[in-house]
A and B are shown apart, each in its own frame.
Chain A
Amino acid sequence: MTALAFRRDSKPDFVQEDFARHRGSLPGAGLAWLDTRRRAAMDAFAATGIPTRRVEAWKYTDLANALESELEPATPFSGDLDEENAFAASDAHLLLVNGFLHRTRPVDGLDIVDLGALDADAPDWVKESLGLMAAGRDSPLGAASLALMRGGVAVRVREHATLHVDFLTPPHDRGAVSHCRVLLVLEEGVRLSLLETHRGEGVHQTLANIGMELVLKPGARLEHVRLQAEASKALHVTSLGARLEREAEYRALYAALGAQLSRLDVNVQLAAPGAHATLHNVAVLNAGIADVTTVMDHATPHGTSRQLFKSVVGGRGRSVNQGRVVVREGAVKSDSHQLFKALLLSPRAEADAKPELEIFADDVVCGHGTAIGSLDEDALFYLRSRGIAENEAKGLLIRAFLEDAIEGLANEAVHEALWQRIDASLTSLEAGQL
């Protein structure tokens, strides 16, 4: 297989070659502050290259091996999106296609900057934050998304607002990779309800490589719902860094509902006292890999975090949940809990779960748990003996399994949309291997 070519990390890969060839023509090239950050990010990427299982944080998810061929950089979409792709209809405030900002609807209280057109006029709030959370040692793809950033969007939230960001990957005629970044800065005390959707179609392999940075100023509150459902040949990596200042609150519900391989790397810094993060993840798949890997960094006292990950895996699907909780020296009264649960619906389904705790402070409460199992036969028989047919009974039990990860984390409309999408995934599970 050609993929083997990428396994030798001594040799530059197509990501590094892209940088060497095009660094002078990337958006904002020549801006000293950005050039420096891109250069550092490419160095960080080059230390591992495209990750194989030999990279510890990627040991369950072999991205290099999943690549079928070298990928060309994606270009902005030039045709008529709505006409050519029925599925492309979007009423989102921000529509990104192939990682480029394609359409914007103005929203009161938001400042919006197109990162694909960065120049010397870039506002200070962009310069202050863009890319600072990109180059973690375990996040080579996140680093690449900055080094090779060709598009994306920066948003400053000055007033309470609701925002929908829609990412679309239309069909390509050959393998393509997009590198894109999103920066969200929530000013002090504001609330944002963010819906993030990822959709894609096509028969050729695409890699959407997205770097996200969320900056929550003191007392800011972000409610984040992320819905990722892409084509069966899609590769998807999002590297998300969130920095929470004093009393800031981040509540997230992530849903992984389809791709050949999806990886969500989350790094949350509880950077000032009293910050709180809730991360819930739901994965429903019957093929491919859905990987969510988190680092919850309790850096200061009185931080609280809750993580609940639930996977329903059928067919030959595989879910990966890794969660590292770090409580740094002095971060007393930290309170953290994480729970990973997976439901396996077929003999070839697989779930890997790896919780980790690194505690360097006293007087903390940290808990974690893992449970992987199959549907409860007693419950299934009970429902069937009441007249509910096998597949409907399984659907009820699966919904019940997912319910507590979804309840309370989305407004009603989003909640409905999410259940619709999950029900569609469950239906395809039932049709297949359930």
Chain B
Amino acid sequence: MLEIDDLHVAVDGKEILKGITLSVPAGEVHAVMGPNGSGKSTLSYTLAGREGYEVTSGRIFYQGEDLTTLLPEQRAAKGMFLALQYPVEIPGVVTLTFLKTALNAQRRARGESELDAMRVLRLVREKATALKIPEDMLKRPLNAGFSGGEKKRMEMLQMALFEPKLAILDETDSGLDIDALKLVAEGVNALREPERAMLVITHYQRLLSYIVPDRVHVLAAGRIVKSGGADLALELEKSGYEGVVEAA
């Protein structure tokens, strides 16, 4: 599903990612763990195609296609989804309007018919109920004044609605209390299926107790320094990044 090959990325002329090679097959959940400043967010923004994240060498293949020249909206239409660490507040854009606009923009780009307001509403309601998102939140401006937990649940709602083939979750656990964390993890687990791949980017092991990954990769100073099974996350929790990074 996702093949990253010797990826180098610079931001403002400074190299942040220094040769990442990573492969996430369909049906698997991989975790990327790393300390602050290791390049985790750079990796997620680069995968989503944000401007300013310059791929200086290496390539990213998604479903066999080179992604590096595609715009963020093109990547989304092809089934990529990035759940942000800090979802942006957009006062003035009603959440439901945003969801409809985004869903239909993706459908349009794929040559599918647009859904009318009623269909979208029914779809959104169904997904929102599972995530315990109250109806009035959908009528409020997108993320404006939402609590940290509400914002993350809104990200999960979008993921459920867009049904991406590749979901990247950037520090989705940050700022969540244990109940919200469980709710988000349930949302993620419900979407695990053979046709979908997920990349869970996180600092802490905590989330991985609820979303058990198939593989864990340790990112340090712009490189993957170690890869292993789900146990690697527990090892990191015990001995800390320093121990693992030095041993590698």
A residues in contact (CB < 8 Å) with B: 376-379, 381-390, 392-393, 396-397, 399-401, 403-404
Contacts and interface: CB of A to CB of B under 8 A. Distances in A.
Interface in B35-88: 48-51, 71-73, 75-77, 81-82, 84, 87-88
Among B84, B91, B105, which residue has the most Cβ atoms of chain A within 10 A?
Answer: B105
Nearest to A382: B88
A392 B92 contact: no
Nearest to B50: A381
Contact of A390 (B48, B50, B73, B141): B73
Interface string B106-144: 100100000000000000000000000000000001000
B72 A384 contact: yes
A400 B105 contact: no
Contact of B92 (A382, A385, A386, A404): A404
Contact of B101 (A377, A378, A392, A403): A392
Contacts of A397: 90, 93
A399 B90 contact: no
Contacts of A377: 51
A377 B45 CA distance: 13
Contacts of B205: none
B88 A386 contact: no
A393 B71 CA distance: 13
Contact of B105 (A378, A382, A392): A392
B76 A382 contact: no
Contacts, number: 75
B160 to A, nearest CB: 13
A387 B162 contact: yes
Contact of B88 (A379, A387, A389, A404): A379
B102 A383 contact: yes
B93 A378 contact: no
Q: What 5 A-B pairs come out closest when comparing CB atoms? A: A400-B92, A387-B76, A387-B106, A386-B102, A384-B72
21 contacts: A378-B88, A379-B90, A381-B48, A382-B90, A383-B98, A383-B102, A384-B71, A385-B50, A385-B76, A386-B158, A386-B162, A387-B77, A387-B102, A387-B103, A388-B73, A389-B71, A389-B109, A390-B71, A390-B73, A399-B93, A403-B92
Contacts of B91: 400
Given A386-B105, A386-B158, A399-B93, 10 more contacts: A377-B51, A381-B51, A382-B90, A384-B72, A386-B106, A386-B162, A387-B102, A387-B106, A392-B101, A397-B90
Contacts of B75: 385
Contact of A401 (B72, B92, B141): B92
Contacts of B50: 381, 385
B102 A400 contact: no
Contacts of B102: 383, 386-388
Contacts of A385: 48-50, 72-73, 75-76, 81-82, 84
A378 B72 CA distance: 13
A140 B84 CA distance: 55
B225 to A, nearest CB: 28
A392 B108 CA distance: 13
A148 B207 CA distance: 77
B93 A388 contact: no
A313 to B, nearest CB: 18
B105 A387 contact: yes
Contacts of B106: 386-387
Contacts of A381: 48, 50-51, 72
Nearest to A403: B92
Contacts of A404: 92
B155 to A, nearest CB: 10
A385 B88 CA distance: 12
A379 B86 CA distance: 11
Contacts of B90: 379, 382-383, 397, 400
A389 B73 CA distance: 6
A382 B73 contact: no
B42 to A, nearest CB: 14
A397 B141 CA distance: 12
Nearest to A401: B92
Given A388-B73, A404-B92, A382 B162 contact: no
Contacts of B158: 386
A386 to B, nearest CB: 4
Contacts of B76: 384-387
A234 B50 CA distance: 42
